[in-house]
Amino acid sequence: MPHDVRAATPPLAASLVRAAAPDARSRLDLPELQSVLSHALTDLLAETRATHAAAWWAEPGEEPRVVAAAGASLPDHTPLASDFERIAALPGARDLRECDAATGTAGEGYCAAVPIAANADGAAAVLLLGGARDATGHVRPRTLAALDAVARRIEQPILASLAHARLARLDADVLRLDRLVALGTLVAEVVHEVRNPLVSVKTFLQLLPERRGDPEFLQSFLDVAGDELQRIERLLDLLLDHASPRMPAPGSGSGAAIATVVEAVERLVAHRGAAAGVRIESEVAAALPHCAIEPDALRQVLLNLVLNALDVTPAGGDVRVAARSIGRVVQIDVEDRGPGIPRALRRRVFEPFFSTKAERPGGLGLAISRRLVDQAAGTLAIADRPGGGTRFRMRLPTTPAPTA
């Protein structure tokens, strides 16, 4: 007794809905597709009493291939793109003898065909039926109707699955473009940050001729140059890895020793401060816990803040760095004696490429600093400094100091 083709509708639709679920890959699940089409072909043979049937599938830009087949005496040939295109252009189920599609290999062993999931881009699949001619050599209208009904039954789920696959591919393309944009931003960040250590090394080299006989100066130069060259190397590694500086989760890892980082930053900017006539003062509470941020990242943030403070502080003024512990948070302030930042601009100064220094390009330092602090689960905010100027206040979660 012939099977009712409608009886297979629920499981077939359910299978393709699963294939189109949000966790589907950007390409259709081929085993799932083959299972759906195989069930459809089996039902088709039972309904029409044909001897064999096959389903051809074509991915965009790829050659068609047989993805499912049922019955005996299957034709042994590879689908041609020209045959697939001719069948894909049919308005519905047709006798191949009565249409142009019979001019290729599709006419060898098959007598009827129908396109599936046809849209503006063409059909995604075609069903072919063989051994279904009557005594007069024609395919009966009832057989064509059954072929057309099977195609229509599975068409909508396939179209939905195809639409989801296209969206998934678009998502992948967007992620790729986003990664390229991030790479461009990262390049700009590295260029910006490499300049700071180079300035320090350059300053020492300029002083070297007149102080080459000073052992203490030479040792300081060697220490600074070595540290800064290693820092540049790490920044370049960061670029190659195409990743942000790795931050330990709050409360884990050794983190950064505040006093050590503040001392290193003071040493880096001491000559610039002296040349500008600006005092650099620091006040770091004793026995501060470590911060849950990498030492390199904290030094990068503090260096950006202190250099900005030096740029806006007039000669005779001071730049102050203070750090203290408040519960499970370490608070670090960097204060300048500049003109201050209007409240209307305080949110914008953290935007990439926004700068209040119209006379020269820049605007990345604070954006980088905010991002690094955010990644460490901390905060970075702007306030007025008592007596005039600006205060940048950074708060970072603490992490246990490393044990010996």
Domain containing 25: what range?
5-176
Alpha-carbon distance of 103 to 105, in angstroms, equals: 7
Does residue 172 sit in the same domain as residue 306? no
Instruction: Give the range with max mean pLDDT: 202-206, 236-240, 298-302, 321-325.
Output: 321-325
Q: Which token pair is 231?
A: 């820092």
219-273: pLDDT as tens digits: 888 888 888 888 787 667 655 654 444 444 444 456 888 998 998 888 778 878 8
Query: Which residue type is seen at 323?
Result: A
Say yes or no to pLDDT of 10 above 90: no
Q: H-helix or E-strand containing 365?
A: helix 365-375
Does residue 290 sit in the same domain as residue 160? no
> How many domains is the chain built from?
2
Query: Considering the domain boundaries, does residue 33 fall inside one?
Result: yes
Q: What does the pLDDT read at residue 152?
A: 87
Q: What does the pLDDT read at residue 3?
A: 36
Alpha-carbon distance of 404 to 399, in angstroms, equals: 15
Q: Are 268 and 300 in contact (CB under 8 A)?
A: no
**Matching residue, tokens 């300053």:** 203
Q: Which token pair is 80?
A: 């041609």
pTM: 0.43
Does residue 133 sit in the same domain as residue 249? no
Does residue 40 sit in the same domain as residue 147? yes
Q: How far is C-alpha 256 from the geometric centre of its chain's CA atoms?
A: 29
Nearest Cα to Cα of residue 313 among 340, 295, 345, 293: 340
Strand partners, 397: 329
Q: Are 268 and 209 in contact (CB under 8 A)?
A: no
Distances (CA, A) of 333 to 59, 126, 289: 59, 70, 16
Output the domain CATH number for residue 129. Answer: 3.30.450.40
**3-class SS at 92?**
coil
DSSP label at residue 8: G
Alpha-carbon distance of 185 to 191, in angstroms, equals: 10
pLDDT band (50, 70, 90) for residue 184? low
